[in-house]
Amino acid sequence: MSKVAIKDEISATSIIPTQLLISSTFICCQMLVLLISIFLATVLLSLLLTYYSKEVLLNAGRVLPDLHKPIQVKVPSPGGVAISVSFIVGALVYMQIFGYSHKILLACYIGAICSFIGLIDDIIPIGPLGKIVVTGVAFSPISLSSVSIVGLPHIIPRCLYPVGSILLGIFVVNASNMVAGFNGLEAGLSSIVNIALFIIAMQLHGVVFAFPHLILLASCIGFLYYNFYPAKIFPGNCGTFAMGGFTAAFAMVNGLHIPLFLLFIPHLFDFVVKFRVSFKVKEYGHAEHGEGGIIYPPRYKSLISILLKRFRLTELKLVLSLWLIELFLSVIVVFYTTKVLF
């Protein structure tokens, strides 16, 4: 073979990797644009639905007093329907573009049922035991799927995975509903948790199965615009159940039971310290507004009451403090799960 022929062959073989690199880069950029578009569209849809829900609820007289303000203004509730609808629409568009997944559909179904349970509870109050039972029923489809728990020791029988998943789902949904009641608290905590779960899921499973956590983040951001201090709308149990249900369902179909549980340690602590009154909190009163906007703790023990007793906090500072605690915990959980556990 002549030197010219060898040179031409080398040039041809070097062109192929370059073309592949350009092609793969173009596909990645195209995929990134689509993902960003879905995220922004979900934020916009959540904004519009929250605003529309606010107007409809006001006109219908569905309002609750904002208990932690010097003047107890009436705030429309429940506005959590906007979170559920915007998320489901965003998830369906996502699957339409990137392909349907039975795991994503299952998680959407469970989250939607939880949201509906919360909506019923807003209209016709369900007792504490009833909430446990119905959320358990909502998560029962998990037992019909092939559940795997990443990072769990093999000595634990796989037959216990579905039971553990249902119990964890019950805990997350009801805990999300218990650490609540302050402007922007629930949506902010849910946003931080889902950012952490997205990072973990992306490293384990790639962006396809991780991205729904960002869609839920987008729904929470749109709602948070109107729910942040001073709140113009409350999520209601519909919203807290939706955020807890979607978060738990998507984490569990990805096998992220352990990170999910670790991220809800503040909620677990809150449940433990107020266990004696957890089912009858309303009988003990609520945190009260004091001079200078300072919030006085309620008469029962809880994570919030401990913070309020130790520090003189306004409602805004209390919410930001709880966000900061969850953010700090999320950094630890992300590092632990990605560097140590997995």
pLDDT in tens, the chain (342 residues): 555 454 444 454 555 566 656 666 766 788 888 999 999 999 999 999 999 999 999 999 899 988 877 777 899 999 999 999 999 999 999 999 988 888 889 999 999 999 999 999 999 988 888 999 999 999 998 877 666 777 666 556 777 778 889 999 999 999 998 888 899 999 999 999 999 999 999 998 888 889 999 999 999 999 999 999 999 999 999 999 999 999 999 999 988 999 999 999 999 999 888 776 555 555 445 666 666 678 877 777 888 888 888 888 899 999 999 999 999 999 999 998 887 766
Contact 115, 242 (CB under 8 A): yes
Residue 309 is assigned to a structural domain of this protein: no
Q: How many domains does the chain have?
A: 1
Cα–Cα distance for residue pair 81/161, rounded to 1 Å: 31
Residue 286 is assigned to a structural domain of this protein: no
Residue 302 is assigned to a structural domain of this protein: no
Cβ within 8 Å of residue 143, ≥6 positions away: 162, 163, 165, 166
Provide the pLDDT for residue 159: 72
With 0.85 as the threshold, say if the pTM is over it: yes
Provide the pLDDT for residue 212: 94
Provide the pLDDT for residue 284: 46
User: Can you give the residue range of the structural domain that contains 120?
Assistant: 10-272
Provide the pLDDT for residue 213: 96
Residue 304 is assigned to a structural domain of this protein: no
Cα–Cα distance for residue pair 231/187, rounded to 1 Å: 12
Residue 226 sits at φ, ψ, to 5 deg, of: -100, -15
Provide the pLDDT for residue 12: 46
Query: DSSP character for 172?
Result: H
Residue 262 is assigned to a structural domain of this protein: yes
Peptide bond into 259 cis (omega under 30): no
Residue 40 is assigned to a structural domain of this protein: yes
The residue assigned the tokens 């004696």 is 276
Residue 89 is assigned to a structural domain of this protein: yes
Residue 310 is assigned to a structural domain of this protein: no
